[in-house]
A and B are shown apart, each in its own frame.
Chain A
Amino acid sequence: MTPIGKVLRTTAFKLSAFYLAVFTVLSLFLIGYISFNTTRVLARHLNDRIETEIRGLAAHYRKTGIRGLVRVVDRRSRQPGASLYLVTDFAGNVLAGNVASLDRDVFDDPDGRPRPVGYRRLDTGDGDISHSALVRVFSLRDGFQILVGRDVGEREHLKRTIGSAVLVAGGTIILLGLISWIFVSRRVLQRIDSISATSRQIMDGDLSGRLQVTGTGDEFDRLAESLNAMLVRIEHLMSGIKHVSDNIAHDLKTPLTRMRNRLEIAKRDERTLTDYKRSLEETIDEADQLIRTFDALLMISRIEAGSTGAAFNPVSVSDIVTGVCELYEPVAEEAGIGFSTDVAETPPVEGNRELIGQAMANVIDNAIKYCATSTAPDGPKIAVFVRHDPDHITCTVVDNGPGIAGPDRVRVLERFVRLDESRSEPGSGLGLSLVDAVVRLHGGRLDLKDNEPGLKAVLSFPLRQGKGQA
């Protein structure tokens, strides 16, 4: 594209050209309208004066005859800035007046409307210069005619003034247009260009790039702020994905390697059919565990990314907790763990029954797993409470097992973190991460506290609040 073509295609040029055209048309219209009206008013004013004078002179003639009229006209035509006067007899001889020469055809149409004619004046020094005037001829009795006129130089002058005003205005408009074009292209387009440049940089893979915010609070700043917020979110998601894939690489490889080794050993050694079957069953179990881990991982990531698509409906947390407790109570009893529940009715919250159910199941399952080793004198115990105040619903699961030491309570929420003592227990190390993600999706929080001894897990969900973001 040629440089000129490039300039012509810019928004700044198009905008400036458009506004320039609009301003020009408007100004021309305005000036035209004003001058048209002014001319009309002036003309009417002249006509009125001519009419008045003619009527006055005619009355004078009727009263004093031609002599009186000639005397009056003589006197009036000698005053400075006077009107034009001419009195003629039936033969066209001039009796009085201050007109030196005149287009003779004026007298062919007496008593018509005033009309413009060219004339020369007697009394002024510039006798040779032709002026134009608006004149009216009036016939008197006995063939006398009287002519009264006003010079229209004033009107011509106005016309010239308006003409030059049009020129000045036009020039100013074009000048302003140019200035606005320069302003728009320098200030505004520069910012748009900077936005495009940053976007390209981001597209090239540098997600840390941010658009410049000048602090003027104009629409470009607002745009830049929105785009920056979007970029922060994207970067967050991207780093989440990276984090997850790193974890997958590290933590799924181990069981896969184990599985592969087992298969290799099974293939190498001569074995009985029963042994083969057992190997295969173990491998299937391991594969199932891997799938579980994978599912949990995907679910956590999708929840954290806010893209589960899970429908949020008004749900009763107490109903969900009661259901999950009912599911796990026999498991606890079977493991010799005392299990008690104290669930208060709660107002509905916006939530997803499956997700909250799964979160509660994970917490209770954890409690059952770790509480079995409790050394408390009255045996292992788990208690589940649901309470609510005007702002929150809290679900508390307490056990009297070994608990989690202070510094580990935060770490255990991270993905794949399993505290060393628990390595022997089956599990993926994702249970509490999932709980944390679910609770945060509902705008709430998960707190792990010391139950002295044991662990106290508190899931709190805010009341009177829509779907929160993790």
Chain B
Amino acid sequence: MRILLIEDDREAAVYLSKALREAGHAIDHAADGEEGAHLAAEGAYDVMVVDRMLPKRDGLSVVEDMRGRGDDTPVLILSALGQVDDRVTGLRAGGDDYLTKPYAFSELLARVEALARRRKPGEVETNYTVGDLVLDRLSHTVSRSGSPIVLQPREFRLLEYLMKNAGQVVTRTMLLENVWDYHFDPQTNVIDVHISRLRGKIDKGFEHALLHTVRGAGYMISDANR
């Protein structure tokens, strides 16, 4: 995946570039807003990671310009501003996701990869299938190996989000934001409890577990065992 990173903090940029390369991505780095806007206009990137406060040009204005040109490359905005409305401003400017500094790299990687997938052209899928687990989005039913599984509405949405991102790591924060639409810190790891309940319903009694815990990052649903 080709990623454009616009970040003025040298140390953060070096670290991020290295880590993203290790994760198998090609990185271009711009150190200020103007260079970033220039690169964004030239290259075809799968995802852009844009710091909000940049020298020469504000990160949000770079994104606004891109959107003005009809460029819909997914953008993850990084910012030290983490208040409720800073996020809203960032997303309104055309950002697709918003991550507050300081962040864990696993969080950033998971979000970048989720953004890249979101872009994949696709007719809206009506079913998600992972191994023998099938989720029907229209009838709101889930079954594994043909036998139906009864889920609470929230559990259904949790599974739906995990399966939409099947094979990829989703972090606890991503789940809290996308399934519950909360952007605050719930202190206790409430998500773990919900995942463990879901796991009890979809994996219990089956030989292969589909819902995996990724240490230090989050969760992933995949059929990797087969």
Residues of A within 8 A of B (CB): 281, 284, 287-288, 291-292, 295-296, 299, 302, 308-311, 323, 326-328, 330-331, 334, 352, 354-355, 357-358, 361-362, 365, 368-369, 427, 431
Contacts and interface: CB of A to CB of B under 8 A. Distances in A.
B190 A327 contact: yes
Q: Which has the most chain A C-beta neighbours within 10 Å: B154, B187, B197, B216?
A: B187
Nearest to A332: B193
A337 B209 CA distance: 29
B197 A330 contact: yes
Contacts, number: 67
Nearest to A362: B187
A326 B84 contact: no
Given A311-B88, A357-B184, A427-B187, A299 B193 contact: no
A365 B186 contact: yes
A299 B180 CA distance: 21
A295 B104 CA distance: 15
B187 A310 contact: no
Given A323-B180, A330-B193, A330-B194, A361 B84 contact: no
Interface string B76-116: 00000011111010000000000000101000000000000
B8 to A, nearest CB: 21
12 contacts: A292-B185, A295-B82, A308-B83, A309-B84, A309-B85, A310-B85, A323-B182, A330-B193, A331-B188, A331-B190, A331-B193, A431-B187
Interface of B: 82-86, 88, 102, 104, 154, 180, 182-188, 190, 193-194, 196-197, 216
Nearest to A431: B187
Contact of A354 (B154, B184, B187, B197): B184
Contacts of B183: 354
Nearest to A434: B184
Contacts of B180: 323, 327
Nearest to A330: B193
A299 B102 contact: no
B85 A311 contact: yes
Contacts of A354: 84, 182-184
Nearest to A369: B188
Nearest to B185: A292
Contacts of B86: 309
B188 A309 contact: no
B123 to A, nearest CB: 32
Contacts of B84: 308-311, 352, 354-355
B23 to A, nearest CB: 19
B83 A302 contact: yes
B79 to A, nearest CB: 13
